[in-house]
Amino acid sequence: MSNLSDSTDEVQSFKFDAIAVIESPYREKFAIPRQPNLVSAAKGKLVLIGAANNHELVRDIEQFSHLWLLFVFHGTQAQGWKPLVRPPRLGGNKKTGVLATRSTFRPNPIGMSVVKLDKVVTTKQQTVLHISGLDLLDGTPIVDIKPYVPYSDAIINADAGFAQEQPDTALSVVFSEQAKMSLIQYEQRDSELALLIEQVLQQDPRPAYKQGKNDDKVYGMSLYDLNIQWQLTSFNTVLVLNITHVTQ
């Protein structure tokens, strides 16, 4: 594992405090989309904390439809980093420089994500930004929030190397009768639960080396407090087998 402090050169360090924390349907790293806005039904909350829990900090932020979030990869931070990684877009086999990727294992565990701002709610001295399209683990610490500015942030003719286009997984998702019965129960609290499950599974959350291949393994993923079991039944079809509540 590399360590920035190994350098003999003087390294300037900085200390940041989290200004918010994320409440997300993704309770584990598995099944989180690899980029934001691929799953529009993923809705969450950005809860301001500490000195940043002040509505004045977000005055007029509703004028912007999308926000940049700068955050800490707290779920992978302890595992350190290496100069070379295996990006999923290259099949998980070819190595490339970590700074040429969006790997979570970075010299500094900092990530950035664009999310849609749905509304801002302040109640009982607590300010919460409701967001969607997020790709963040539940409990993610946020260190900064910036408005997304289309004329400068969206560079239409930019080159993106091996990640120029969105992956075309095109997986079809179907629900078993048992899963459909569970949806009737759980959709009373979340009307878009079926859409969320479908959009997540369409991204094929399996390891990169398994994508595009037949696989009869039964997988499980956590969304909110639910465990969703699913399986590929053909080359391009996913069957949701069961949806159960996970007791804490």
CATH for 56: 2.40.30.70
Number of structural domains in the chain = 2
Q: Which residue has the higher pLDDT, 169 or 182?
A: 182
Tokens encoding 49: 């904390």
Task: Give residue 42's region: left, alpha or beta (phi > 0; psi -120 to 50).
Answer: beta
Residue type for 24, please? S
Residue 241 lies in a domain: yes
Q: Could you give the CA distance from residue 96 to residue 170 in angstroms, rounded to a whole number?
A: 27
Q: Which residue has the higher pLDDT, 88 or 6?
A: 88
Q: Which residue has the higher pLDDT, 26 or 94?
A: 26
* 127 and 183 belong to one structural domain: no
* 106 and 8 belong to one structural domain: yes
Residue type for 203, please? Q
**pTM for the model:** 0.86
* 121 and 209 belong to one structural domain: no
Q: What is the pLDDT of residues 30-63, one digit of tens each?
A: 989 888 899 999 999 999 999 999 999 999 999 9
Q: What is the predicted pLDDT for the residue at 10?
A: 62
Residue 159 lies in a domain: no
Reported for 79-84, long-range contacts at CB under 8 A and 24+ positions apart, including other chains, are 79/105, 80/1, 80/2, 80/3, 80/105, 81/1, 81/2, 81/105, 81/106, 81/107, 81/109, 82/1, 82/2, 83/2
Percent composition of the chain: helix, strand, coil (DSSP 3-state, to 5): 20, 30, 50
Q: What is the pLDDT of residues 178-237, one digit of tens each?
A: 999 999 989 888 889 999 999 999 988 888 778 777 788 999 999 999 999 999 998 889
Tokens encoding 106: 């970075």
Residue 108, CA distances (Å) to 13, 78, 81, 113, 243 in order? 11, 11, 9, 16, 37
Q: What is the predicted pLDDT for the residue at 189?
A: 80
Strands 172-175 and 218-223, by their bridges, are unpaired
Question: CA 209 from chain center: how many Å?
Answer: 20
